[in-house]
Amino acid sequence: MPQADPPPADVLAYSDAPVRRRAPLWWRLALTLACLYLPYAWVVMGALPWRDYRLTWIKMWPILPGLTAGLAVIPRGSNAMELAAMGAMTAVVAGAFVALAARSRRWVPIPTVLALILSIVNSWFAYAIYRA
């Protein structure tokens, strides 16, 4: 009588449990900053003519997320004071969103979506000011 072959060994039974890969920190931070700055892409991508006025707005792109703070400064103040307020507000907002996104993988969607929503609203105001 022929003997039955032993059952095949389960090779994967000897391996460790699969390691869950989490998104690297730089990816989470880049995603948050992209959501903060990409709504202002109309400055570059728009079909408007390239003039000095548009180039000024392109130079202001790094501080555009703080536009509402620049509007809150004394309306008849100097441009330097308004730009300084915009830069300070941008640093605070970007720092807060990046710090929240860096906490853990679970926290990433909250500041990222919030940054995107606030940046879209702020971009609408900026576009209205640009077109005025």
pTM of the model: 0.74
- Beta carbons of 40 and 119 less than 8 angstroms apart: yes
Tell me the torsion sign for CA atoms 58, 62, 63, 67: positive
d(CA 132, CA 128): 6
Give the angle 18-20-23 at the CA atoms, nearest 5°.
155
Q: Domain limits of the chain?
A: 23-131
CA distance 26 to 98: 10
- How much is the pLDDT for 37? 93
pLDDT in tens, 22-54: 668 888 889 999 999 999 998 888 777 778 888
Q: Is the pLDDT score of 112 beyond 70? A: yes
